[in-house]
Amino acid sequence: MSFFKRLKDKLTASSDSISEKFKDGLVKTRDNFSNKINDLVSRYRTVDEDFFEELEEILIQADVGFETVMELVEELKMEVKKRNLKDPGDVQSVISEKLIEIYESGEENLNTLNIQEDALTVILFVGVNGVGKTTTIGKLAHKFKSEGKNVLLAAGDTFRAGAIEQLEVWGERVGVDVIKQAEGSDPAAVMYDAVQAARSRKVDILLCDTAGRLQNKVNLMKELEKIKRVIEREIPGAPHEVLLVLDATTGQNALVQAKTFKEATDVSGIVLSKLDGTAKGGIVLAIRNEMNIPVKFVGLGEKMDDLQVFDPEKYVYGLFSDAIEKAED
């Protein structure tokens, strides 16, 4: 049975609407990347060197990342040889299979969060300005709240005008409280307050917003370190997650940001926002493979329920949904 057919059966059996969210959110990438692959497959009669060269080009255009593309194509060549595949049409399914394999590379539970049972979990959000930190916090607050958790937000962006109000709007929308101080105050002090409040109110999850821009980058990194130290001092082992938010529409620049933040704070996972806004959704693979940091969530739109746990199988379904839906034994 082909990989596409197995994936189809699996996703149909679980009949979840989340696969559909990935399908809708990846429409731009599907139009760009997957249609080019369809076209490639229909133009070639045999799988030869030229075929692989064109495939490499398509993958690089989709921001899959140079190293990842080389690795993927190497594996594909071996697989094609091993299975003695001649028809380019059969290769499409193998590409998807390899995409998932490379993403998971033997590790399990890549997308789970380090949530404390019966204790406070602190999650810190970092990332440059405009990537979607505050929006992601709002969406995640909604998600946790609908799971019955007691959630609190900390307004740690005291630098940008309007940032505190923006978080408060999300707080009202979702129905959770926000701990804040005046604009311009020390964000580490806000975090201190927020941790105390979270403790006395028996909060389950504290989500901490931070600034994306200060006077300069060095200041920003120093401030993040200080925020982290204060949280750590108050709660040993916290923050339990440091989530770096990256904007998928910035392409390879997202990788540069990931390197900078990884050096300054121990980033434990990535939220890739605005995946719906790019035709180059291959960036998920580049981040995972070249930074070795798992993508825990993806943003597939601006609405409250548009944040999804990243799942490589659903992602591949989003990329190749047309072929997968048509797959037969």
Ligand X SMILES: Nc1nc2c(ncn2[C@@H]2O[C@H](COP(=O)(O)OP(=O)(O)OP(=O)(O)O)[C@@H](O)[C@H]2O)c(=O)[nH]1
Closest to ligand X by CB, 223 or 276: 276
Closest to ligand X by CB, 9 or 302: 302
* Burial of residue 211, with CB atoms counted within 10 A of its CB: 0-12 exposed, 13-18 middle, 19 or more buried: buried
- For CA atoms 270, 274, 275, 281, give the dihedral sign: negative
Closest to ligand X by CB, 19 or 135: 135
Closest to ligand X by CB, 97 or 241: 241
Question: What is the SS3 assignment for 88?
Answer: helix
CA distance 301 to 275: 8
Length of the chain: 329
Contact 317, 12 (CB under 8 A): no
Residue 299 annotated in ligand binding: no
Q: Shortest approach of ligand X to residue 24 CB, angstroms?
A: 12
Q: Shortest approach of ligand X to residue 133 CB, angstroms?
A: 3
Residues binding ligand X (CB under 6 A):
127, 129-135, 157, 160, 163, 212, 245, 273-274, 276-277, 299-302, 306
Contact 81, 73 (CB under 8 A): no
> What are the Cα distances from residue 107, in Å, to 76, 110, 112, 126, 329?
21, 7, 12, 25, 29
Binding track over 111-140 against Mg ion, x by CB under 5 A: ----------------------xx------
Contact 309, 295 (CB under 8 A): no
Q: Shortest approach of ligand X to residue 266 CB, angstroms?
A: 20
Closest to ligand X by CB, 276 or 311: 276
Residue 158 annotated in ligand binding: no
Question: What is the SS3 assignment for 217?
Answer: helix
249 binds Mg ion (CB under 5 A): no
Residues annotated in a binding site? 127-134, 209-213, 273-276
User: Which residues sit at the interface with Mg ion, rule CB under 5 A?
Assistant: 133-134
Residues annotated in a binding site for GTP? 127-134, 209-213, 273-276
